[in-house]
Amino acid sequence: MSYLLKPLQVGTLALTNRLVMPPMATAKAEPDGKVSQGMLDYYAEKSEGGYISLIIIEHSFIKAEGKASINQLSIAEDGMVEGLKTLAKVIHSNGSKAMMQLNHAGSAALKEVIGSTPLAPSAVANPRRGDRPRELTRQEIAEIIEAFQNAARRSKEAGFDGVEIHSAHGYLLNQFLSPLTNRRSDEYGGDIQNRIRIHLQVIEAVRAAVGEDFPLLLRLGASDFMAGGTTLEDSQTAAKEFVRAGVTILDISGGFSGYNVPGLTGQGYFAPLTEAIKKVVPIPVILTGGITEVRAAERLLAEGKADLIGAGRAILNDSQWAKGAVESLR
């Protein structure tokens, strides 16, 4: 059997194949962050036929202060649940599993979007935006942890198959992880164990809300690809801690200024990261990064670079790509 077509059972999560649609912002939500008809139509089109085993919904903000952009999807209030129920049903009716991605933008938020000075681990200019944020207090960190917890609870209430915690692409949790943006002198700054303290507290809080059997993914920016940033060794240490804390699947990415990293090209350009992470964890790992060719996906799985393949741009550009990929391997 084709590697891409092999089913995968991860705890309570049963996937029909190894193909994932990774989260990609659409800016299709209503101005207040609610699910729109345009968003429902978009995910109905992408999931048609159930050829993609797992669809991870675009990043959703957990607090208004952490909103990354206009028309971003919200999971910050209980009033969002009804619309999200409809979204989950649309994807499930097509035969795919669906997960919410929970995010706080931190210093990557724009003042003109959130109406206040962005918050961050430290008052360090965001490498992506350039604006100088305000440093979070311990009380504010506790409130953010609680917001992740409530967002996960809402995701489960809406009928999603799991949640993904976003710690990549220069958003808040990535800002705590990275020495570039975390200059704190308290228990949340310093060595890698301190820089992932908030991650472990978020995971613990989420687990308390959704139980032990609810799939929990974490998207990890495993390398900043910038001098003085997060190293792969740091991320291997972090990955092992995340597994111990209860993460089900690791979704590996890189680059502090978004998913595009200058100088990285080719099919599966994050493969060196996933391969290194796979060596130290017993759970499945998702590989993304420029994968547009079915044979490349097969090869990357066959070589043990990852357990699941995310093909974002290919699916974004062609809603029939997944169908063609699966049928070409049968």
Active site members: 171
Q: Dihedral angle at the C-alpha atoms of 81, 82, 88, 92, nearest 10 degrees?
A: 140
Distance, CA of 116 to CA of 131 (rounded, Å): 12
Sequence-distant (≥ 6) Cβ neighbours of residue 41 within 8 angstroms? none
Nearest to 144 by CA among 180, 119, 112, 115: 119
Closest by CA to 125, choosing from 139, 136, 140, 135, is 135
Contacts of the segment 75-78: beta carbons below 8 A, 24+ positions apart: 75/100, 75/102, 75/151, 75/154, 75/155, 76/33, 76/147, 76/151, 78/154
Query: How is residue 106 written in tokens?
Result: 């931190």
Contacts of 79 (CB under 8 A, 6+ apart): 34
Q: To the nearest 10°, the Cα dihedral for 10, 16, 18, 23?
A: -80
* Cβ contact 53:96 at 8 Å: yes
Helix (H, G, I), strand (E, B) or coil at 26: coil
